[in-house]
Amino acid sequence: MLDLQQLVPYLKKHRRLLLLGLCFVTISNICSAFYPRFIGDTVNLLHDGNYTINMVLIKVSYILLLTIGSGFFMYLTRKTIIVASRKIEYDLRDDLLKAIERQSLDYFTKTPTGSLMAHSTNDIAAIREFIGPAIMYSANTITTFTFVVSLMLSISIPITLVALLPLPLIALTTFTIGKRVHLATRDVQNHFGVLTTQAQEVFSGIRIVRTFVREMFEKGVFSESSKKYILLCMRLARLQSLTMPLLMLLVVCSQLLVLGFGGLKVIEGSAQLGDLSQFFIYLNQLMFPVAAIGWVTNIVQRAKASMQRLGTIMNSMPTIINQQQSATITEINSIEFKNVSFMYSGSTKPVLDSISLSIPKLSSLGIVGNVGSGKSSFIKLLPRLYDVTSGSIEFNGTDIQQYNLSDIRNSTGVVLQEPFLFSMSILENMKIGKANATMEEVIEAAKTACLYEEVLSFPKGFETIIGERGISLSGGQKQRLAIARALLRKPQLLILDDALSAVDTSTESTILKNLRQVFTNTTSVIIAHRISTVQNCTNIIVLDSGKIIEQGTHNELIALNGHYAEMHRYQLLEAELLQ
């Protein structure tokens, strides 16, 4: 139960509702435990013939009041405990999201998105079941068993002992079947995740599916997976359908024992007919609480496993954090790489090796190199998405690890080669860069990114919803929207990671022309495969296997007649062949 101890702060926060719920369930069960006593007394009165109409009506009134009271307080029980469980579910999910958001980027490279989604849905649901139904039914079982068995013993100890004989079998049956139901439910949920992933991939890649005429193939794959899902659901349904018949059988066995043994006691005169009536009602009242023992045990085990998984995430500390007394930075006057080496977690080969470089304020650095040369890793170090393995990166002569993370990232605008866009409007996606941006600023950024005219051509303009990951936009439009988003925040450091790869050369030329005005007011780092994108940069470096092999201006590197010059010749030849 150590894992479930992590829930104590959440339980304390909502202890008033939970304690009220426990009081209400106790009162409800007191009412339900005593009304059979009045039924038994009424049966005895009628059997003996020693009664008046008023006496019967009074007994019936008590029965009615106790029944209404039991139902009313059970309603209040659900309204308090279940509401508390929903509030704790909200708090847990909120804390889980915060815990996930604070993790460093390397955490997400090791943890599948589907796994995180399962934690935020299935695991939290399992804990909610523990806090809500499990606590409620546990309290219900304890109080019902206490009051009902006490009243049964007060009527007849021998009949009570005989009546309770099958009850352990009820708990054992529920536990055994419940465990199998849990495993079957897990299989259904896991395969449903597979089914959902398959459908999502087909929907997201519908263009590829149609281009390669794979509709029938994908339909067949999905159909097979769907058939397996149906079989798993049928297996689960069969197991669930066993529970109630078996429970009813055991309850009937208990009632038959009471009928046989109790009937003999009535014949002997040591018990009354009304006593048997009470026993039958009490046995029905005990059936669900006793059955709930096995069910609750399974819920507790599920919740324990779920809390263990959630605890692993929530207690996980990010590798990139602020120092205890981090400095603030309002302006980036210089950037210095000092013998920087970097390798990803779990790797033994450095992606960047002994990089030393200065980037003066308002200068532009172009980075070129072959695939896998370390270009993208280079720019991930600047906003501290990753930390260097050795060496240091300094802003204004101070190691960036000494600065506040938010200050660094608020001063930086990053555009990735494959920009991530949210399923919102164009305007909302742009305002991620600056939430309080005016419409004039939005239009200016869109014009600089050569996006404004195309936005106006959409029926709803900037209010156009672009769909999941911007599916309604072309690759070039996505990149230009990402550029506009970064420009909107007017960053001191602008980073473009091959951000113009999806636009044609004519549009690229126009965007670069527009960006020259931006570059006069900001420091920029530009990664590109096209030489034309970086040729006007203040300084250009060529990376190969994580090392700087060439450095200089465009003209200096052409004169060097090395790797950069060779890339330039190939691209000129390619352009001539395409004309």
Task: Identify whether residues 274 and 385 lie together within a single domain.
Answer: no
CATH, residue 546: 3.40.50.300
Asked if residue 283 is part of any domain, the answer here is yes
Q: Give me the residues of the chain with pLDDT under 50, please.
A: 1-2
C-alpha 89/C-alpha 92 separation (Å) is 5
Number of structural domains in the chain: 2
Task: Identify whether residues 147 and 83 lie together within a single domain.
Answer: yes
C-alpha 371/C-alpha 529 separation (Å) is 9
Neighbours of 317 (CB within 10 A): 9
Identify the three-state secondary structure at position 460. coil
Domain boundary among 279, 314, 349: 314
Task: Identify whether residues 286 and 340 lie together within a single domain.
Answer: no
pLDDT tens-digit profile of 389-441? 999 999 998 999 888 888 888 888 888 878 888 888 888 988 888 888 889 99
Asked if residue 461 is part of any domain, the answer here is yes
Distances (CA, A) of 429 to 387, 437, 470, 483, 492: 28, 12, 10, 11, 21
Task: Identify whether residues 455 and 533 lie together within a single domain.
Answer: yes
Question: What integer pLDDT is reported at residue 365 of this predicted model?
Answer: 93
Task: Identify whether residues 494 and 411 lie together within a single domain.
Answer: yes
Asked if residue 206 is part of any domain, the answer here is no
CATH, residue 295: 1.20.1560.10
Asked if residue 174 is part of any domain, the answer here is yes
C-alpha 356/C-alpha 135 separation (Å) is 61
Asked if residue 276 is part of any domain, the answer here is yes
Question: What integer pLDDT is reported at residue 1 of this predicted model?
Answer: 47
C-alpha 429/C-alpha 466 separation (Å) is 9
Question: What integer pLDDT is reported at residue 114 of this predicted model?
Answer: 65
CA dihedral 98, 103, 105, 106 (to 10 degrees): -150
- For residue 283, what are its two tokens? 């046995």
Task: Identify whether residues 357 and 468 lie together within a single domain.
Answer: yes
CA nearest to 20, candidates 75, 90, 88? 75
C-alpha 484/C-alpha 270 separation (Å) is 91
Asked if residue 440 is part of any domain, the answer here is yes
CA nearest to 136, candidates 306, 248, 13, 299? 299
Residue range of the domain that includes 419: 334-578
Cβ(532)–Cβ(508) under 8 Å?
yes
Within 8 A by CB and 6+ apart from 332, the residues are 361, 395, 396, 411, 492, 493, 523
Backbone angles phi, psi at 352, to 5 degrees: -125, 140
Domain boundary among 262, 282, 314: 314
Task: Identify whether residues 409 and 554 lie together within a single domain.
Answer: yes
Q: Which helix (H) or strand (E) holds 91?
A: helix 83-101
Gyration radius (Cα) of the chain, Å: 36
Task: Identify whether residues 270 and 389 lie together within a single domain.
Answer: no
Task: Identify whether residues 303 and 352 lie together within a single domain.
Answer: no
Asked if residue 223 is part of any domain, the answer here is no
Identify the three-state secondary structure at position 529. coil
pLDDT tens-digit profile of 176-208? 777 787 777 777 767 776 777 777 777 767 777
| Mean of all residue pLDDT scores within the chain | 83
pLDDT tens-digit profile of 434-469? 888 889 998 988 888 888 888 888 888 889 888 777
Task: Identify whether residues 298 and 429 lie together within a single domain.
Answer: no
Asked if residue 200 is part of any domain, the answer here is no
DSSP code per residue over 280-347: HHHHHHHHHHHHHHHHHHHHHHHHHHHHHHHHHHHTPPPSS---TTPBP-S---EEEEEEEEE--TT-
**Strand partners of residue 399:** 394
Task: Identify whether residues 79 and 152 lie together within a single domain.
Answer: yes
Question: What integer pLDDT is reported at residue 75 of this predicted model?
Answer: 92
C-alpha 32/C-alpha 27 separation (Å) is 9
Task: Identify whether residues 279 and 338 lie together within a single domain.
Answer: no
